[in-house]
Amino acid sequence: MLEFLRGRDVLVAGWGVSGRSLVEPLFDIGARPVVTDSGATALAEAAELGLDVATSAELEASQSATWSRFALVITSPGWRPDSPVLASAVAEGIPVWGDVEFAWWVDQARIYGPVRKWLVVTGTNGKTTTTSMVYSILRAAGIASVACGNIGLPILDALRRNPGPQVLAVELSSFQLHWAPSVRPEAGVVLNVAEDHLDWHGGLDAYAAAKARALLGRVGVVGLDDPVAASLARRSKARRTVGFRVGVPADGELGVVDGKLLDRAFTKAAILAEAGEISPPGPAGIADALAAAALTRAIDVAPQFVREGLVEHKVGPHRAALVRELGGVVFVDDSKATNPHAARSSILAHQHVVWIAGGQLKGASVEELIEEVADRLIGAVLIGVDAPRIAAMLARHAPQVPVVEVSTGDHAGMGGHTNGSGNADAVMTRAVRAAAEFAGPGDTVLLAPAAASLDMFADYAHRGRSFATAVQALEDEDLGRRL
């Protein structure tokens, strides 16, 4: 499949982590990488490594004769299909792959050893937690494995490891799946599908269709508690499709009975773990654990290793992580809750919540979320560019909930929203102090923004660290003054 690239130029669109991972494999198969990127610094870095480079403007203005030098374009996942460079390539008849699609064919061609088993995880929320759980279970079973993909390590870098893994726990975003139509995992799961990245995909149907590409292999797994994910079971092209639910499972499903995770899909009935042993706690964590169990049971990992791996797994930073308890108030960092669906799970894990939310909603609606969680909110503190939209929905559906909006304009010397660290951290400090004033013993101050972070912060991790720093600075007298 890759022979057509030997001796030919391949355009690498995007000099990020995925773009860098392409270079050595392209050289290894005899192709010549040419890098393009919208940033001058990125191109300069690539050129310093001795690589050919081309600016986006040069490529967009190129004639057919120039495009004919390229056998293939490999795009970073974030590049939209209507990006001018990619649209020009398609118009010239040049195939466009994602880095995951290329990695799949590199693996199938055995460039770096025997073909691996891919266990693919996708969904709007819970991808990283589930992928980490899969990896933990594989390690418990003594299977040479690695967690890769959207979780941080490029798949190509994982394939090039020596000694190499036998199984890949692969987290894939909707962007990556859009550009990877050939991937046929040994088992793949769609955890859930809610409004997210609609501006990129053009609508929920296209977004769900991209997620459904995880269901093209030997075993497809779907989250039955999520209506959109459950509907994908009917469209699954997997040779076998199973489901999981946070409830009593039917035959062919995984679920929970009397506080125990149970497999009724790959055996008559096998207990996998106690619900109380799962981290993070609550329905969302249990759902992720069931999904991870389904993927690993699909490749015959024994139940005892599933339990061992799930018990050993600990939640990562900024994913419903406990920051501190002060005066009976619990402070939780779920900065990774970057959309309303994720925020829903986070809020429903607590009885009395002071909610810190806001950022970039990316076209998603918070109306249904607020309707569902209104009775758990004792206060809301809003930040970021879409704070007014969230405030309007709170006024409509939860008028009893007191709301404070902390905008960048409220801080001396600030004008408008910014991702400058000092300004963003100052806003977060004010937000945390305002939230603390709503809280008393037994309450949870929860950072679950329901929105992306880039209007103010470098990324969701920066937002989480900023929250944690502000929380650690609190003292007992900062609590409960509004009660």
CB atoms within 10 A of CB 409: 10
Domain end marker among 72, 94, 116:
94
Is the same domain home to 272 and 352? no
Tens digit of pLDDT for each residue in 257-271?
A: 999 999 999 999 999
Q: Distance of CA 321 to CAs 87, 314, 324, 445, 479, Å? A: 42, 10, 9, 12, 20
Is the same domain home to 64 and 206? no
* Confidence band, pLDDT 50/70/90 cuts, at residue 156: very high
* Confidence band, pLDDT 50/70/90 cuts, at residue 420: very low
Binding residue ranges? 123-129
Q: Report, as an integer, the average pLDDT of 129-143.
A: 96
Asked which of 52-56, 161-165, 414-418 is least confident by mean pLDDT, the reply is 414-418
DSSP code per residue over 313-370: --PPTTSSEEEEEETTEEEEE-TT--SHHHHHHHHHT-SSEEEEE-SB-TT---HHHH
Distance of CA 190 to the CA centre of its chain: 12
Is the same domain home to 250 and 168? yes
Calculate the dihedral angle through the C-alpha atoms of 104, 212, 206, 21, rounding to the nearest 10 degrees. -20
Is the same domain home to 222 and 267? yes
Residue 366 lies in a domain: yes
Euclidean distance between CA atoms 409 and 394, whole angstroms: 21
pTM over 0.85: no
- Domain holding 402: CATH number? 3.90.190.20
Residue 450 lies in a domain: yes
Strands of 52-53's sheet in order across: 52-53, 32-36, 9-13, 70-75, 96-98
Q: Where are the alpha helices (DSSP H) in 160-223?
A: 174-178, 198-201, 204-211
Domain end marker among 312, 337, 365:
312
Is the same domain home to 290 and 220? yes
Is the same domain home to 340 and 461? yes
Q: Phi and psi at residue 60, in whole multiples of 5°? A: -65, -30
Is the same domain home to 143 and 287? yes
Which of 191-195, 204-208, 350-354: highest mean pLDDT? 350-354
Is the same domain home to 452 and 343? yes
* pLDDT exceeds cutoff 70 at 249: yes
Is the same domain home to 268 and 339? no
Q: Are 36 and 66 in contact (CB under 8 A)?
A: no
* pLDDT exceeds cutoff 70 at 300: yes
Mean pLDDT of the chain: 91
Tens digit of pLDDT for each residue in 4-13?
A: 999 999 999 9
* pLDDT exceeds cutoff 90 at 60: no
Which residues form the domain of 261?
Answer: 102-312
Q: Which residues have C-beta within 8 Å of that of residue 474, sequence separation ≥ 6?
A: 324, 326, 432, 433, 436
Is the same domain home to 216 and 279? yes
Residue 483 lies in a domain: no
Which of 44-58, 338-352, 412-426: highest mean pLDDT? 44-58
The predicted pLDDT at position 26 comes to 97
- Domain holding 61: CATH number? 3.40.50.720
Binding residue ranges for ATP? 123-129
Residue 482 lies in a domain: no
Euclidean distance between CA atoms 333 and 322, whole angstroms: 6
The predicted pLDDT at position 352 comes to 93
Indicate the number of domains in the chain: 3
* Confidence band, pLDDT 50/70/90 cuts, at residue 417: very low
Tens digit of pLDDT for each residue in 428-474?
A: 999 999 999 999 988 999 999 999 999 999 999 999 999 999 999 99
